[in-house]
Amino acid sequence: MEELNKDIVLIERIKQGDRASFDVLVSLYQQKGLEIAYNIVGNLEDAKDVLQEAFVKVYLNIKGFQEKAKFSTWFYRIVVNCSLDLLRKKKRIKNVPIDSIMDEDGQEKRLDIADNHWEPSKISMERELARDLEENINKLPEKQRICFILKHQNGLNIEEISHILKCNPATVKVHLFRAVNNLRKKISKYLI
């Protein structure tokens, strides 16, 4: 609630032409916006361009923003749309170079699963699995891909995703269910 109030105050000042308030708003949302853009477009350079484009659109269209809506939802929607526009322009699906799965101490991190039905025998297999998973995420249908990325890579909840994509929460759940099952089928060869 406090965050919401802070956003409202900043937006009011930006509407009156206060550039300093806009800088504050940028600093509040730049990291999260970058993460969303990065997970969709796949590389830092494009993500930076997308994020800049999104902030430019925010600045130019801030007068049309209604305070009853959440700024974060509106902003993330712009980021998602700008990311998709960039991908359509490039007309290719980018693969993200998979970093090693490390924990904070730099140790190789094993996957934490509830049961023991799956145990990777080699570390390289984990990396290959991660790479394969990323490739298959990029190959998902657009709606499934966006829902999956926003939910499982950016940590947004179903309600937020439904506001961003302007659809029902039930629709988001269907997209997520299909995405996860499609991915499970694609990588099942590693998990036998």
Q: Which residues bind other proteins (CB under 8 A)?
A: 23, 26-27, 30-31, 34-35, 38-39, 44, 47-48, 51-53, 55-56, 59-60, 96, 98-99, 101, 109, 111-115, 117-118, 129-130, 133-134, 137, 148, 152-153, 173, 176-177, 180-181, 183-184, 187-188, 191
**With respect to other proteins, which residue has the nearer C-beta, 5 or 135?**
135
**With respect to other proteins, which residue has the nearer C-beta, 5 or 188?**
188
Please give the Cα distance from 82 to 177 (Å, whole number): 25
Q: Which residues contact 26 (CB under 8 A, 6 or more apart)?
A: 55
**Shortest Å distance, C-beta 168 to other proteins:** 15
Burial of residue 153 (CB within 10 Å: 0-12, 13-18, 19+) is: middle
- Positive or negative, the Cα torsion across 78, 174, 152, 98? negative
Give CA 38 to chain center in angstroms: 7
**Shortest Å distance, C-beta 34 to other proteins:** 7
Backbone angles phi, psi at 49, to 5 degrees: -65, -45
Residue keyed to tokens 């926003």: 150
**With respect to other proteins, which residue has the nearer C-beta, 5 or 121?**
121
**With respect to other proteins, which residue has the nearer C-beta, 31 or 168?**
31
**Shortest Å distance, C-beta 66 to other proteins:** 22
